[in-house]
């Protein structure tokens, strides 16, 4: 018995006509004899509207009522799709998070999945009912609604696929696959037929918007085969697979960029053991993810500057956390800069091919682009640059690494 999970994003369900179109995609999968669970996002723009309403009445601080409001967009979409599927002769029902249940912790607005009990859901699927599930939402042990953070519907879909031991999780979106870079910036960008979990994880975490980072990490952990494809075109998509399933690897698979970075610098921090742990431990407790980190010790060896990057949405909260620790840490000043962008060169082929960083740095230097921060991993080199040079950097690197479509 084959279970398939389909996930449709906000642009795919943006209005009633598009929901009807999604229903045809579901019907195609059902006609193949598969047991289908569908995860849906809110209609395009709906989550932003609901978030704005919640913030205006209750402020932006995370709380349970905020999640009740913001999660309602997906609930509406799931009901509408289930309603229409039944109307065209396909047995379907909606499942809210509390009905499965889809359990999370109580970190409101950024909840982590703790358990999915798919027992009743499987019974329904095995009776040939399509399950339509609102993405993005969960429920705590205290029966409070939570949300998984932006892009959380991808995470819902992958987690559900893992719980069902599904053959595949299809992520339908407004693009027809994963590209070597953003085609809106580089017209010669190429669609990638297959990409490894590691590469996709790096691309997602470095700014590629096709898949959400947590969903890729979850897919890699549970070996869930992913397919990214278009809701609106009948074209082959991009498969996300284990490295062993891909015969040959390019040195560089893609160029990613993230315009949503903020650079934070703590000036003249006391150079003593435990300071870094205090800084980054406090940020972690506030659920603030830190990415690139650089530490420069002063000439006299008594103080240091600590520079790191975070998401722009966390900038104010990070400043608040760190200012509360000013006496303990002993820094002189905190400087936050949002006019930066992170550019990353990614590819598993880097493991066996030297010279990638050299080519990257030389290319940026030839374009007069200054590098502010550098970080590397086994399959990635990232740099932080002034945001005004983002598109120039992406185009130049895409050409330098022979990724342009001939």
Cα four-point dihedral sign 11, 315, 214, 373? positive
For each of the domains in the chain, give its residue range(s) and CATH number, in order of start.
3-174 (3.40.1160.10)
Tell me the backbone φ, ψ of residue 5, rounded to 5 degrees.
-105, 130
Q: How many residues does this entry show for the chain?
A: 406
- Stretch 311-319: mean pLDDT, rounded? 89
Can you tell me the mean pLDDT for 364-380? Answer: 93
Question: For position 301, what pLDDT does the model report?
Answer: 65
When comparing pLDDT for 31 and 297, which is higher?
31
In this predicted model, what pLDDT tens digit does every residue of 246-298 receive, in sequence order?
Answer: 766 778 999 999 888 999 888 888 777 888 888 888 889 888 999 898 888 76
- The model's pLDDT over 200-225, given as tens digits with 9 standing for 90+, comes to 998 887 767 788 888 999 999 999 99
Mean pLDDT of 169-196: 93
Query: 31 or 328: whose pLDDT is higher?
Result: 31
* Confidence label for 345 from pLDDT (cuts 50, 70 and 90): very high
pLDDT at 55 over 80: yes
Contacts by 350-357, CB closer than 8 A, 24 or more apart = 350/251, 350/252, 350/378, 350/379, 350/380, 350/381, 351/378, 351/379, 353/251, 356/251, 356/252, 356/381, 356/401, 357/381
Tokens 């849906």 belong to which residue? 40
pLDDT score, position 49: 95
Q: Which residue has the tokens 């190429």?
A: 190
Q: What is the pLDDT of residues 230-258, one digit of tens each?
A: 999 999 999 999 887 776 677 899 999 98
CA distance 192 to 172: 16
- Kindly report, residue by residue over 78-102, the tens digit of the pLDDT: 999 999 999 999 999 999 999 999 9
Report pLDDT for 269: 81
**Lowest-pLDDT range of 161-165, 249-253, 373-377:** 249-253
The arithmetic mean of pLDDT across residues 352-363, rounded, is: 92
pLDDT tens for 138-162 read: 999 999 999 999 789 999 999 999 9
Indicate whether 34 pLDDT > 80. yes
Percent of the chain clearing pLDDT 90 (strictly above): 68
Cβ neighbours, 10 Å, residue 120 = 13
Q: Is the dihedral of CA 83, 88, 92, 95 positive or negative?
A: negative
Residue 124 pLDDT exceeds 90: yes
Q: Which residue has the higher pLDDT, 341 or 303?
A: 341
Give the pLDDT score at 329: 79
pLDDT of 299: 62
Asked whether 103 and 156 are in contact (CB, 8 A), the reply is no
């Amino acid at each position: 018995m084959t279970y398939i999970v389909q996930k449709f994003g906000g642009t795919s369900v943006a209005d009633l006509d598009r929901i009807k179109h999604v229903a045809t995609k579901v019907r195609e999968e059902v006609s193949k004899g598969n047991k289908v669970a569908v995860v849906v996002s809110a209609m395009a723009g709906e989550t932003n509207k609901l978030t704005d309403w919640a913030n205006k009445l209750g402020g932006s601080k995370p709380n349970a009522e905020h999640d009740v409001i913001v999660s309602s967009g997906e609930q509406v979409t799931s009901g509408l799709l289930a309603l229409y599927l039944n109307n065209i002769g396909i047995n379907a029902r909606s499942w809210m998070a509390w009905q499965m249940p889809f359990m999370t912790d109580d970190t409101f607005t950024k909840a982590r999945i703790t358990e999915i009990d798919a027992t009743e859901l499987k019974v329904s699927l095995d009776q040939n009912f399509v399950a339509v599930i609102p993405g993005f939402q969960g429920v705590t042990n205290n029966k409070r609604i939570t949300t998984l953070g932006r892009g959380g519907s991808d995470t819902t879909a992958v987690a559900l696929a893992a719980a069902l031991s599904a053959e595949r999780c299809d992520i339908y979106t407004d693009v027809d696959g994963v590209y070597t870079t953003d085609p809106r910036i580089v017209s010669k960008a190429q669609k990638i037929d297959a990409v490894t979990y590691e590469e996709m994880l790096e691309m997602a975490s470095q700014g590629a918007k096709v898949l959400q980072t947590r969903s890729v990490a979850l897919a890699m952990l549970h070996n869930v085969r992913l397919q990214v494809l278009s809701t609106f075109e009948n074209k082959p998509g991009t498969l996300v697979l284990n490295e062993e399933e891909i015969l040959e690897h390019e040195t560089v698979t893609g160029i990613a960029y993230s315009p949503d970075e903020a650079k934070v610098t703590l000036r003249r921090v006391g150079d003593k053991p435990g300071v870094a742990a205090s800084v980054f431990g406090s940020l972690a407790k506030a659920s603030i993810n830190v990415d690139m980190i650089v530490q420069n010790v002063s000439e006299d060896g008594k103080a240091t500057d600590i520079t790191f990057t975070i998401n722009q949405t966390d900038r104010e909260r990070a400043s608040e956390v760190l200012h509360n620790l000013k006496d303990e840490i002993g820094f002189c000043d905190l400087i936050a800069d949002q006019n930066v962008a992170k550019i990353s060169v990614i590819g598993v082929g880097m493991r066996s091919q030297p010279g990638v960083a050299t080519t990257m740095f030389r290319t940026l230097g030839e374009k007069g682009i200054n590098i502010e921060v550098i970080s590397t991993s086994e399959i990635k080199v990232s740099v932080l640059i002034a945001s005004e040079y983002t598109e120039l950097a992406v185009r130049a690197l895409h050409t330098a690494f022979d990724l342009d479509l001939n």
